[in-house]
Amino acid sequence: QSVLTQPPSVSAAPGQKVTISCSGTSSNIGNNYVSWYHQLPGTAPKLLIYDNNKRPSGIPDRFSGSKSGTSATLGITGLQTGDEADYYCGTWDSSLSVVVFGGGTKLTVL
Amino acid sequence: QVQVVQSGAEVKKPGASVKVSCKASGYTFTGYAMHWVRQAPGQRLEWMGWINAGNGDTMYSQKFQGRVTVIRDTSASAAYMELSSLRSEDTAVYYCAREGPAGGYYFDYWGQGTLVTVSS
């Protein structure tokens, strides 16, 4: 399966802002919507962003998404200790006809 | 409210099959696709396939073609994923996840996960 590339880890202090990148190709991110999820240990992923930049109801506006070309970015402002989790990007790959996910980024709030 | 509840953990021997259930409530089951995603220990999420809960059409990842079958029971508002010829590499948490109302292969509600352990 095609792989979306994310940094293994990011960190920032409480109250600060962090961004997580997700790099793909024209067959996935370049021509399809991107979604973002966070996952606490031992729990199911939870949707944060869909269609590149839309937030489901209940997700605070501290979370934002953007896409440019074959890369997408998740932004989190006003970091809280409760934001510590693994974050995954996902999208459809038109060439492989599969949903592909990034390898995940572990966010540490120092 | 929308809920997606999966069946409990399973332990299987290599070569066996496993069937995981996924019961939905709080929405019109036939109006949404249901996807299956697995996560091996310490690994990324891996998409397996999906079913159109309305008409029963399915689509599977090439990786699992021939080994995976997804069906649904509209009377029970449930979907089922069966994986056959299990091997140790299939040890993972298996999730069902509802596709969002706007389509586009994003998943707005997830089951709690079912741990499948393949061990002799």
**Contact flag A98-B61 (C-beta cutoff 8 Å):** yes
Buried b (16+ CB within 10 A) or exposed e, A18-56: bebbbbbbebbbeebbbbbbbbeeeebbbbbbbbbbebb
Residues of chain B with Cβ-Cβ distance to A44 below 8 Å are 95, 97, 110-113
Query: B11-38, pLDDT tens digit by residue?
Result: 999 999 999 999 999 999 999 999 999 9
> Is the Cβ pair B108, A51 closer than 8 Å?
no
Query: At CB < 8 Å, which residues of chain B contact A?
Result: 35, 37, 44-47, 59, 61-63, 95, 97, 100, 102, 104-108, 110-113
pLDDT of residue B103: 77
Q: For each of chain A's 110 residues, which pLDDT tens digit applies?
A: 448 999 999 999 999 999 999 999 999 999 999 999 999 989 999 999 999 999 999 999 999 999 999 999 999 999 999 999 999 999 999 999 999 999 999 999 98
Residue B102 vs residues A9, B45, B92, B114: alpha-carbon distances, Å = 31, 22, 29, 27
Low-confidence stretches of chain B (pLDDT beneath 50): none
pLDDT at residue A1, rounded to an integer: 47
